[in-house]
Amino acid sequence: MSITIDMPNRIVDLILALKSKCLEKEESIRQEFGLSPAEYKGIIAMSPNEPCNCNKLSEKMGLSVSRGSRVIEKLVKNKYLICETSLEDKRNVILSLAPRGIRIKKKIDSMLNDCESIIESKLSNTEIKSTLKIFNKLGDCL
């Protein structure tokens, strides 16, 4: 399925159309698990083997520390994250994925990997490398 736009094929129009398709996929994944956009970002940002603190997770989610703290509280309340006090500094808390969070993250990663496989099946290795190079260059431009 190609991206069709009624206006000229400006780069930004194609990027926005692609973004829209990706957001549709993200929305369906979030709905399947009953996650808000912020909760989804929080789970995606966590690594099962790499605990982090609230500031770091807020940064990974692209949120202010105060907004990130509210999202983190909800993720802990819903048993997606475990919050423990740091042994070195009692003022600092360490966050890690709870078993429920690990299960959902694995499912989300699997669904995203399926999407990746579909894309890769329709492109040659050269096209994949070129696409990644172009996406990185576009990201640097903005």
Give CA separation, 142 vs 9, 22, 136, 139, in Å. Answer: 19, 19, 10, 5
pLDDT of residue 64: 92
The DSSP line for 67-133 is: HHHHHHHHHHHTTSEEEEE-SS-TT-EEEEE-HHHHHHHHHHHHHHHHHHHHHHHTS-HHHHHHHHH
What does pTM read for this prediction?
0.77
DSSP summary character for residue 34: T
CA distance 93 to 43: 17
Question: How buried is 71 (Cβ within 10 angstroms: 0-12 exposed, 13-18 middle, 19+ buried)?
Answer: buried
Give residue 14's pLDDT band: very low, low, confident or very high (50, 70, 90): confident
CA distance 32 to 12: 30
Give residue 8's pLDDT band: very low, low, confident or very high (50, 70, 90): low
Rounded to the nearest 5°, which phi and psi values hold at 39?
Answer: -65, -40
Torsion (CA) 24, 31, 69, 46 in degrees, nearest 10: -80
For residue range 47-102, what is the model confidence (pLDDT) as tens digits? 988 899 999 999 999 999 999 999 999 999 999 999 998 777 777 889 999 999 99
Any idea where the domains of the chain sit in the sequence?
11-141
Q: Which CATH class is domain 11-141?
A: mainly alpha
SS3 7: coil
